């Protein structure tokens, strides 16, 4: 059975989704989870694009064990040198360089001819190879590139030392049959001299189908993102391509190294960090992906699971919601359960979380695994807190004007303020804005409940914009207004962290 490498680009192409930008701490948290998922390669960013990307690549390379860590670089000397700077201390590293090859891009965007594009591609692969062994090259817009020229470029960069050639369907234009045939041609030309990778965008909803067709025709690496996030309509969805290969191994005769039981947790983390919700009917990770509504289906399932279930929910990390703890659970049981859920936390983090768990247990009788996950995700990967919520009280009702009194710490000083609003959230946000004296605009506000019941933990995600740049904030609490306040303050802290020199 062939082994297909999974190259995860959630932190690079995924981050190109509108509004999905992540800070360094969030990227590191996600990279650790990608390592638990056992992806083969993490594309951690584009080193030259910003100091934040540079730092994230560097720290992921230094701190996250397991996967190869990769930086993107245009086929330019300064990009490749910057990628090397970011990666030089990483034990397992790759430089991924790219140049467009389609006539449309060369003529209108780069204003160079085919010979010059080929020359630059070869020279930059050689330069990257002078720094690292593991070099990947992508002929951008490959699927709209004239086939003969594309084959020449591929052959030349492999001869120059590229160990992987990635064939991007940059604009999501190709179709499964056509793309499979292209990959077969490339395989004929280069044989086993380099790994053929594919990178499909989802503009026509075909990214997963195109990637699978490529695998069937000789591709050995698939580039993808968690939840399929990415530029425009997104990228090939990791969970879909991996589960298709696993479920239909009889057809593809190929497997991956992915620990599929980590899929749901990774999907939730990406959704939480980016604030991009997963649609309920999304394959593999949507809330309804394993829900059977029809009476006929339920009848079949009760008789024999395989009548209507082609994958087991537990194989993607979905447990039937389990009651785990309550207010009498002790610190030891709490620590053990967090470990079973796959969180590796320091004693100090566990102690802090235990206090929060006890407070939650006072408000909520039954605590489920999902609640614990939300608690951990809510408490970790926070930027340094300039603003902190100390207290919040609300009065509101059918006949009363909603009023919020917010007490907040800024640095070491405590401030409070009472404000009225159109609703309790509006009043709370007015008070926070007045205390913090900030000028951002609220762009979106989403609420969802973790598990069910009136005492469920509520999770709020907001997006704020300041000076044309967006930021997301999250908060979780059994009190939805407190969750909303935490989310807003989280976003303000991220904005403040950005402004620091």
Q: Which stretch binds Zn ion (CB under 5 A): 7-15, 18-26, 137-145, 446-454?
A: 7-15
Which of 7, 54, 84, 98 is the binder for ligand KIV (CB under 6 A)?
Answer: 98
* Binding of residue 22 to ligand KIV (CB under 6 A): no
102 is a contact residue toward ligand KIV (CB under 6 A) = no
Tell me which of Zn ion, ligand KIV, none is bound by residue 138, counting a contact when its beta carbon lies within the kind-specific cut-off of 5 to 8 angstroms: ligand KIV
Can you point out the beta strands (E) in 101-178? 135-140, 164-169
CA distance 362 to 384: 28
172 binds, among Zn ion, ligand KIV, none (CB under 5 to 8 A by kind): none
Cβ at position 115, least distance to ligand KIV in Å: 21
The whole-angstrom separation of Cα 249 and Cα 255 is 7
DSSP assignments along 460-478, one per residue: EEEEEEETTEEEEEEEEES
Residue nearest to Zn ion (CB): 13
Query: By C-beta, is 71 or 170 nearer to ligand KIV?
Result: 170
Counting contacts by CB under 6 A, is residue 173 touching ligand KIV? no
**Is 170 a binder of ligand KIV (CB under 6 A)?**
yes
Cα distance between residue 50 and residue 56, in whole Å? 10
Sole residue written with tokens 């929060």: 356
Residue 199 within binding range of ligand KIV, rule CB under 6 A: yes
Which partner from the list ligand KIV, Zn ion, none does 334 bind, CB cut-off 5 to 8 Å by kind?
none
- Comparing CA positions, the residue from 20, 19, 18, 86 lying closest to residue 49 is 86
DSSP states along 184-208: HHHHHHHTTSSEEEEEEB-TTS-HH
Name the nearest CA neighbour of 380 among 334, 346, 333, 340.
346
The rounded distance, in Å, linking the Cα atoms of 329 and 354 is 10
Residue 426 CA, distance from chain mean position: 30
Angstrom distances, CA of residue 136 to CA of 125, 128, 163, 194, 197: 8, 9, 6, 9, 9
Those residues whose C-beta lies under 8 Å from the C-beta of residue 71, and which sit 6 or more positions away, are 43, 44, 45, 46, 47, 57, 82, 83, 86, 87, 94, 95, 96
Smallest separation, CB 16 to Zn ion (Å): 7
Binder of residue 140, out of Zn ion, ligand KIV, none (CB less than 5 to 8 A by kind):
ligand KIV
Of 5, 61, 3, whose CA–CA distance to 32 is shortest? Answer: 61
Q: How far is the CB of 351 from Zn ion (least distance, A)?
A: 42
Say which entry of Zn ion, ligand KIV, none residue 59 contacts (CB below 5 to 8 A, set by partner kind).
none
Nearest to 155 by CA among 171, 140, 137: 137
**With respect to ligand KIV, which residue has the nearer C-beta, 49 or 451?**
49
Distance of CA 157 to the CA centre of its chain: 30
Shortest reach from residue 46's CB to Zn ion, in Å? 11
Give me the 240-279 binding string for Zn ion, x by CB under 5 A, dash otherwise.
----------------------------------------
Would you give the binding string for ligand KIV spanning residues 121-150, x where CB under 6 A is met?
-----------------x-x----------
Alpha helices, DSSP H only, in 1-144? 24-37, 51-63, 77-87, 103-104, 114-131
**141 is a contact residue toward Zn ion (CB under 5 A):** no
Q: Give the total of residues touching ligand KIV (CB under 6 A).
A: 8
Nearer to Zn ion, 13 or 459 (CB): 13
* Least CB distance to ligand KIV at residue 37 (A): 21
Instruction: State how far Cα 186 lies from the chain centre.
Output: 30
CB of 445 to ligand KIV, least distance (A): 31
> Residue 49 CB, nearest distance to ligand KIV (Å)?
12
> Residue 458 CB, nearest distance to ligand KIV (Å)?
36
Q: Does residue 13 bind Zn ion (CB under 5 A)?
A: yes
Of positions 7, 10, 13, 459, contacts ligand KIV by CB under 6 A: 13
Least separation in angstroms between CB 138 and ligand KIV: 4
Summarize as ranges the residues that interact with Zn ion (CB under 5 A): 13
Summarize as ranges the residues that interact with ligand KIV (CB under 6 A): 13, 98, 138, 140, 168, 170, 199, 201
């Amino acid at each position: 059975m062939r082994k297909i490498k999974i190259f995860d680009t959630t932190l690079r192409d995924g981050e190109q989704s509108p509004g999905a930008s992540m800070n360094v701490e969030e990227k590191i948290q996600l990279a650790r989870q990608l390592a638990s998922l056992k992806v083969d390669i993490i594309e951690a960013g584009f080193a030259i694009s910003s100091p934040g990307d540079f730092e994230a690549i560097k720290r992921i390379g230094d701190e996250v064990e397991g996967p190869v860590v990769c930086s993107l670089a245009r086929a330019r000397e300064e990009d490749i040198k910057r990628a090397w700077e970011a990666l030089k201390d990483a034990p397992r590293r790759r430089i991924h360089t790219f140049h467009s090859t389609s006539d449309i891009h060369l003529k209108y965007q780069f204003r160079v001819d085919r010979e010059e594009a080929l020359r630059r591609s070869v020279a930059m692969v050689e330069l990257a190879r002078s720094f690292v062994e593991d070099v990947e090259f992508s002929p951008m817009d490959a699927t709209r590139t004239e086939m003969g020229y594309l084959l020449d470029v591929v052959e030349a960069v492999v001869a120059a030392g590229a160990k992987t050639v990635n064939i991007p369907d940059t604009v999501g234009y190709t179709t499964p049959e056509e793309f499979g045939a292209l990959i077969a041609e490339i395989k004929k030309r280069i044989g086993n001299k380099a790994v053929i990778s594919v990178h499909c965008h989802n503009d026509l909803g075909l990214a997963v189908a195109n990637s699978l067709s490529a695998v069937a025709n000789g591709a050995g690496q698939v580039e993808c993102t968690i939840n399929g996030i990415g530029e425009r309509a997104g990228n090939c969805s990791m969970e879909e391509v991996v589960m298709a290969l696993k479920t239909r191994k009889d057809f593809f005769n190929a497997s991956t190294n992915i620990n599929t039981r980590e899929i749901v947790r990774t999907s939730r983390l990406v959704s939480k960090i980016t604030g991009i919700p997963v649609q309920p009917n999304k394959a593999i990770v949507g809330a309804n992906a394993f829900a059977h509504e029809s009476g006929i289906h339920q009848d079949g399932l009760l008789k024999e699971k395989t009548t209507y279930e082609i994958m087991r929910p537990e194989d993607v990390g979905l447990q039937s919601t389990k009651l785990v703890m309550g207010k009498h659970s002790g610190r030891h049981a709490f620590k053990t359960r967090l470990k079973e859920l796959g969180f590796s936390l320091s004693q100090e983090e566990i102690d802090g979380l235990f206090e929060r768990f006890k407070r939650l247990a006072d408000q909520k009788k039954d605590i489920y695994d999902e609640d614990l996950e939300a608690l951990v995700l809510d408490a970790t990967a926070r930027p340094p807190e300039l603003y902190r919520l100390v207290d919040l009280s609300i009065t509101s009702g059918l006949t009363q004007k909603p009023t919020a009194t917010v007490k907040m710490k800024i640095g070491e000083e405590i401030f409070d303020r009472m404000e009225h609003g159109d609703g309790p959230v509006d009043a709370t946000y007015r008070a926070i804005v007045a205390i913090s004296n900030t000028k951002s605009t609220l762009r979106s506000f989403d609420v969802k409940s973790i598990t069910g019941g009136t005492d469920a933990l509520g999770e709020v995600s907001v997006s704020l914009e300041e000076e044309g740049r967006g930021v997301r904030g999250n908060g979780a609490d059994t009190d939805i207004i407190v969750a909303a306040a935490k989310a807003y303050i989280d976003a303000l802290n991220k904005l403040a962290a950005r402004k620091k020199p």
